Amino acid sequence: MTAEVGTRAATNRAARISIGEVLEQLRPDFPGLHISKIRYLESEGLVSPERTPSGYRKFSAHDVERLRYVLTAQREHYLPLKVIREHLDAMDRGLEPPALPTTGPQVPRVVLSGDGMPSPEAFAAGGTELRLSKRELVETAEIDEELLDQLVSFGMVRMRPGTKHFDGDALVIAKAAGELAAYGLEPRHLRTFKTAADREVGLVEQVAAPIRGQRDAGAQARAEEAVREIAALSVKLHATLVKSGLSGGR
C-alpha cells in the first residue's frame, strides 16, 4: 500500500508543469494571455500552485482548469474577480457555482487586423454605446475608486458628455491603467501617453480639416475615412517605434 501511495504521489508530481507550460496550454484559447496575468491571478488567491524548494511554481491539471475557468468568466461574461472568487469557493466546497450570466457590461472588442494592430474600422465614431456607472466601471475594470479618481483628474478618463456614465473607451483605459499599476506605473506616469495621444489627434485633425472644407457632398465622408486611415497608421507607427526602441535595434 505504501508503494502504491508513493507511486501515485510521484505521478502527481510529474504531472505538475511550469508557468511557461501553463501559458503554452492556455494561449491557443486566450491569445492575449501573458505570464504576468497568471502571476496576478495567483496573487489574488484564485490559484495556488505548489512551489519547489528553489521557489519555482508548479501547476497541476486542476490549477490549469481553474485558470481556464477564471479567464473564460472574465472574457465571455466580464465578471469581476470578487464574483469569480465566490464561484471558485463554491466549487472548492463541492457546490455547483452560480450559473454564469449571458449578458452584462462588456469591454468593446477592438477590431484588429492580422498583425494585431487596430484597423481603420476601430476608429469609427460611435463605436460603442456602452454606459457604465462609476461603480460598474470600477468593478468591471477591477480597479479601486482612488485609481479611477486619479485617472479622471489627469484627463485620462471622462464621463460621456451630459451624463454621469462612462463609455467603453473609459473602461478599456481604466482596465489598462489598472494592469499597468501592477508594475508600479501610476496615473501621473501615464500623462505622457495622454500628451502623445493629444498630439496625434491634433495632427490627424490638421490633415482632415482641408478635406472637410471642400464643398462637394462627399467631403465629410472622405474626411472621416481619412481620419480612420491616418489614426490606424499612426498607432501602428507609434507601436512599432516603441517596439524598435525597446529591442535596441537587435
Q: Tell me: the pLDDT tens digits for 174-185? A: 988 998 988 889
Q: Among 47, 130, 43, which residue's Cα sits nearest to residue 89?
A: 47
Cα–chain-centroid distance for residue 59?
Answer: 23
Q: How much is the average pLDDT of 196-222?
A: 88
The whole-chain average pLDDT of the chain stands at: 82
Q: Residue 110: its pLDDT value, please?
A: 47
Q: Among 177, 132, 179, 133, which residue's Cα sits nearest to residue 151?
A: 177
**Residue for grid cell 512551489:** 51
Confidence of residue 242 (pLDDT cuts 50, 70, 90): confident
Residues 47-94: tens digit of each pLDDT: 999 999 998 999 999 999 999 999 998 888 878 888 899 889 888 877
Segment among 33-37, 120-124, 163-167, 214-218 with least mean pLDDT: 120-124
Q: Among 88, 199, 94, 182, which residue's Cα sits nearest to residue 142?
A: 182
Q: What's the rounded Cα separation, in Å, for the pair 60 and 164?
A: 45
For residue 65, give the C-alpha cell: 482548469
Q: Residue 112: its pLDDT value, please?
A: 44
Which sign does the torsion angle of CA 216, 121, 148, 197 carry?
A: negative
For residue 132, the SS3 value is strand
Residues 99-150: tens digit of each pLDDT: 765 444 444 444 444 556 666 766 765 545 678 889 888 888 888 999 999 9
Domain covering 2-92 in this structure, CATH number: 1.10.1660.10
Q: Residue 69: its pLDDT value, please?
A: 93
Would the pTM of this model clear 0.75, i.e. be above it? no
